[in-house]
Amino acid sequence: MKKPSQNPSRIDKQARDYGASIPFDRRLYRQDIEGSIAHARMLAKQGIIAGSDAAAIVKGLNSIGKEIERGRLQFKVELEDIHMNIEARLFEKIGETAGKLHTARSRNDQMALDLRLFVKEETRKTIGTITALQISLVELAAANKDVIMPGYTHLQQAQPVLLAHHLLAYFEMFQRDKERFHDCLRRTDVLPLGSGALAGVPYPIDREFLAQQLGFSKVSTNSLDAVSDRDFIVEYEAAAAIAMMHLSRLAEEFILWSSTEFDFIEIGDAFTTGSSIMPQKKNPDVAELARGKTGRVYGHLMGILTIMKSLPLAYNRDMQEDKEGLFDTVDTLQASLEVFARMVRTVKVNTERIAQVMKTDYILATDLADYLVKKGMPFRKAHGVIAKLNEYAATRGKTFRELGRKEYREFSPLFTGDVYDITSASSVTARNVVGGTSPQQVAKALRRARRLIKR
Which pTM does this prediction carry?
0.93
Provide the pLDDT for residue 313.
Answer: 94
Provide the pLDDT for residue 448.
Answer: 97
- Residue tagged active-site, from 52, 63, 259, 275: 275
What residue segments make up the domains of the chain, in order of their start? 12-100, 107-143+162-355, 359-454
Is 275 an annotated catalytic residue? yes
Is 223 an annotated catalytic residue? no
Provide the pLDDT for residue 16.
Answer: 80
CATH topology for 12-100?
A: Fumarase C; Chain B, domain 1 (1.10.275)
Provide the pLDDT for residue 341.
Answer: 97
Alpha-carbon span 84 to 64, nearest angstrom? 13
Provide the pLDDT for residue 262.
Answer: 96
Along the 455 residues of the chain, how does pLDDT read in single tens digits? 455 555 655 778 888 888 888 999 999 999 999 999 999 999 999 999 999 999 999 999 999 999 999 999 999 999 999 999 999 999 999 999 999 999 999 999 999 999 999 999 999 999 999 999 999 999 999 999 999 999 999 999 999 999 999 999 999 999 999 999 999 999 999 999 999 999 999 999 999 999 999 999 999 999 999 999 999 999 999 999 999 999 999 999 999 999 999 999 999 999 998 766 675 668 999 999 999 999 999 999 999 999 999 999 999 999 999 999 999 999 999 999 999 999 999 999 999 999 999 998 899 999 999 999 999 999 999 999 999 999 999 999 999 999 999 999 999 999 999 999 999 999 999 999 999 999 999 999 999 999 999 98
CB 187 within 8 A of CB 231: yes
Kindly report the three-state secondary structure assignment for every residue of the chain.
Answer: CCCCCCCHHHCCHHHHHHHCCHHHHHHHHHHHHHHHHHHHHHHHHCCCCCHHHHHHHHHHHHHHHHHHHCCCCCCCHHHCCHHHHHHHHHHHHHHHHHHHCCCCCCHHHHHHHHHHHHHHHHHHHHHHHHHHHHHHHHHHHHHCCCCEEEEEECCEEEEEEEHHHHHHHHHHHHHHHHHHHHHHHHHHCEECCCCCCCCCCCCCCCHHHHHHHHCCCEECCCHHHHHHCCHHHHHHHHHHHHHHHHHHHHHHHHHHHCCCCCCCEECCHHHCECCCCCCCCCECHHHHHHHHHHHHHHHHHHHHHHHHCCCCCCCCHHHHHHHHHHHHHHHHHHHHHHHHHHHHCCCEECHHHHHHHHCCHHHHHHHHHHHHHHCCCCHHHHHHHHHHHHHHHHHCCCCHHHCCHHHHHHHCCCCCHHHHHCCHHHHHHHCCCCCCCCHHHHHHHHHHHHHHHHC
Provide the pLDDT for residue 282.
Answer: 86
Provide the pLDDT for residue 9.
Answer: 59
CATH top-level class for 107-143+162-355? mainly alpha
- Residue tagged active-site, from 5, 9, 154, 310: 154
CATH topology for 359-454?
A: Ribonucleotide Reductase Protein R1; domain 1 (1.10.40)
